[in-house]
């Protein structure tokens, strides 16, 4: 009887360990979709297939509203900017016919306290040079570093430029100014 109980425990532990990678295949963030007239609360999910933006209706209504969901594969994304406070999605799709080829862009502000670094780890191999990492990758093996300044239009950011075998990292305390570039994306 005790032997059967132990084998059931072992099967349960093995099943839980096998399910962990499946759970890690999706990352979801609570965001605020910044719009011209009224911002919307939404959930932004990243899976192995693509990105989903699900708008959340905060007002209780007599008649439930139709859920607004937008889904894109990684091939639909022209550029994805990751920063500690924001995610900006630029799609290949045009915004409107009268805007003459201006591409659709979603600017999403993350809720306070959400960590974007696991998302960078998930996307750095999927999006190649289309991923703009406005964060310093903490997992880069640093072989050499020097003080540096990243120039801006009005004001630059002072920090440290770190060289590693697979990435070049500019780390600064200035907000949204850190960057990570993969060596294979540098010409």
Domain map (residue ranges) of the chain: 26-133, 136-187
pLDDT given at position 110? 92
Compute φ and ψ for 5, nearest 5 degrees.
-65, -40
Question: What is residue 94's predicted lDDT score, i.e. its pLDDT?
Answer: 73
Q: Look at residue 104 in the predicted model and tell me its pLDDT.
A: 84
Residue with tokens 């050499």: 144
pLDDT at 28: 93
Handedness of CA 37, 39, 43, 128 (dihedral sign): positive
Does this model's pTM top 0.75? My answer is no
The predicted pLDDT at position 46 comes to 94
CATH number of the 26-133 domain:
2.30.29.30
CA separation for the pair 183, 164 (Å, rounded): 9
Q: Which regions in the chain score pLDDT beneath 70?
A: 1-24, 36, 57-67, 99
Q: Report the alpha-carbon distance of residue 185 to residue 162 in Å, rounded.
A: 16
Q: Are 84 and 115 in contact (CB under 8 A)?
A: no
């Amino acid at each position: 009887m005790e032997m059967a109980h132990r084998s059931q425990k072992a099967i349960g532990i093995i099943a839980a360990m096998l399910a962990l990678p499946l759970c890690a295949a999706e990352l979801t963030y609570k965001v605020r979709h910044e719009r011209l007239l009224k911002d919307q609360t939404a959930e932004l999910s990243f899976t192995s297939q693509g990105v989903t933006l699900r708008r959340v209706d905060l007002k209780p209504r007599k008649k439930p509203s139709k859920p607004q969901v937008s889904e894109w594969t990684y091939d639909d994304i022209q550029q994805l900017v990751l920063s500690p406070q924001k995610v900006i999605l630029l799609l290949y799709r045009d915004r409107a016919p009268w805007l003459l080829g201006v591409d659709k862009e979603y600017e999403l502000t993350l809720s306070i306290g959400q960590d974007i670094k696991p998302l960078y780890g998930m996307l750095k191999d999927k999006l190649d040079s289309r991923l703009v990492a406005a964060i310093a990758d903490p997992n880069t093996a640093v072989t050499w570093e020097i003080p540096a300044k990243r120039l801006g239009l009005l004001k630059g950011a002072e920090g440290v430029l770190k060289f590693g075998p697979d990435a070049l990292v500019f780390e600064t305390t200035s907000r949204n100014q850190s960057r990570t570039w993969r060596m294979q994306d540098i010409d």
